[in-house]
Amino acid sequence: MSEKREARRFGPIRLPTRFTVVSWRDLAFTLAPIILISVVAIWAAFRFVRPAPPDTITITTGPEASLFRNYAERYNKILARNGVKLRVLTSQGSLENLRRLSDPSFSVDVGFVQGGVASGMKVDGLVSLGSMFNQPLAIFYRSSAGLNLLSDLKGKRVAIGVEGSGVHVLALALLKANNIEPGGATRLLELSGEAAADALLRGTVDAVFLMGDSAAPQFMRKLMQAPGIRLFDFPQAEAYIRRFQYLNKLDLPMGALDLGKNLPPRDLRIIGPTVELIARDNLHPALSDLLIEAATEVHGGASLLQRAGEFPAAIEREFPISDHATRYYKSGKGFLYRYLPFWVASLVDRMAVLLVPVLVLLIPGMRIVPVLYRWLVGSRIYRWYGNLLALEREMRMNTDSKPREDLLKRLDAIEQGVNGIKIPLAFADQFYVLREHISFVRGRLANSETRDHGPETRDRALETGDNEPRSRGG
């Protein structure tokens, strides 16, 4: 058969609008659900699993110029190096700090709390970041008072600190153990810090209880050097620390405060509680590490009342040690936080948490992608097979010439639609098989017309290429 006759038989060559290497539209539809689910998983992990650490936290301390307040200011400078701001709130002292931490409506994250003030209070939801330092109880008295034991304060005027301070709680507990209670012969005055020191110097009180949570160190040094004022020595120190489990015995050697003036003039036995850094249990673990790191820098050295490296320490007292603090004391800072800036390490740490849900979704999802992609591209071809099959069934049921012309028009529309679809090169074989099947149906339609109308239609069939094609589908 000549080339011209071959062209007449199969009709003009028609090609699809465009072949592509990949159908980006189908690929997008395939990946969209997986990407959407992954984005939701990432958002949920960022939002609920491990949120970003806040850039500001609040600490409750003590009065202005108190030891608690001074320590908090040093913490603030250390945390600022890592881009975290520490908001410092003043208070009356340990008891008020604990009340604030226990109150969910009060905006505070951490606070200094001395041992012994939590008795009878609800402290659920609070954890300790460790013991930070010893806080000695300094009882100054006028030498004329002749104070040898705390019981000698009966009938005298005593400043015991203001309500809300830790010294107030401890003073009442110690005096009660010596049968001295409010309302008795002893006048218990709520004076603290500078006011208490001035009252002792003026002679309006006989003794004052001072501690670092509510008094500045300079007031204690001022009283130590004042004539006629003495620092009380606890001869019963061992008995006190056994009766009050939160107290420690502290030794102040002779001359420790001033060698030249020999202050104190003899060895003194002092008692005092340990101060803990208490936090709410929802404190971000990264901030917990930062606070303990700051505490190590501030409290880790040697002083008159502690050895180097003694504090901070993971010693559980009235509050449980937080899990994050326990991990820090055992192994130190996390690997990322040792070598990366704080916020970079925090971001990488959170990203590591995201890998689990993302991998759980992506690994099986990527296995489904090729199957789903083939189905999406193939469905574009399969739907034309449905139209072609319906047309062929109608062709067998109809013998009239008019419906056959309608069928021919519909077949032309199918072929035109098929030639307009975009198919990736990997699916070109399916495309050409579909075209051959269209030619096959067209040939069946032409043969049907030839049988009905005789030889005169044969040439017209050849003109339109209506004989059966040689194809895999024919």
- What are 281-328's pLDDT values in tens digits? 999 888 998 999 999 999 999 888 888 999 999 998 889 999 989 988
User: In terms of Cα–Cα distance, which of 298, 273, 277 is closest to 127?
Assistant: 277
Integer Cα distance of 28 and 309 in angstroms: 60
Q: Is 126 helix (H, G, I), strand (E, B) or coil?
A: strand
Q: How far is CA 161 from CA 117, 139, 168, 188, in A?
A: 14, 11, 5, 9
Q: From residue 26, how far is each of 30, 166, 382, 387, 458 by CA, in Å? A: 6, 70, 15, 22, 44
Report the largest interatomic distance among the alpha carbons of the chain, rounded to a whole angstrom: 145
301: phi then psi, degrees, rounded to nearest 5: -80, 175
pTM of the model as a whole: 0.67
Name residues whose C-beta falls within 8 Å of residue 416's C-beta, 6 or more positions apart in sequence: none
- Give Cα 181 to chain centroid, integer Å: 48
User: Which residues in the chain land under pLDDT 70?
Assistant: 1-31, 33-34, 37-38, 40-51, 335-337, 339, 343, 345-363, 365-366, 369, 398-402, 448-474
Give me the pLDDT at residue 174, please. Answer: 96
At 119, give phi and psi (nearest 5°): -60, 125
- Measured CA to CA, the distance from residue 230 to residue 343 in angstroms comes to 51
CB 290 within 8 A of CB 82: yes
The token pair at 263 is: 């202050």
- CA distance to 169, 378, 431, 439, 472, per residue, from 388 (Å): 93, 15, 14, 11, 16
Write the DSSP string, 296-336. HHHHSS-BTTB-TT--SB---SSSPBPHHHHHHHHH-S-HH
Q: Which pLDDT score, from 0 to 100, does residue 474 have?
A: 36
- For the chain, the distance separating the N- and C-terminal CA atoms, rounded to the nearest angstrom, is 20
> What is the Cα–Cα distance from 87 to 294, expressed in whole angstroms?
15
**195-239 pLDDT per residue, tens:** 999 999 999 999 999 998 878 878 888 898 899 999 999 999 999
- Secondary structure E strands in 236-392: 247-252, 268-280
3-state DSSP assignment of residue 224: helix
Q: Are 54 and 86 in contact (CB under 8 A)?
A: no
Helices then strands, counting H and E runs in the chain, come out as: 15, 13
H or E stretch including 94?
A: helix 94-102
Listed in sequence order, the residues at least 6 apart from 176 whose beta carbon sits closer than 8 Å to its beta carbon are none
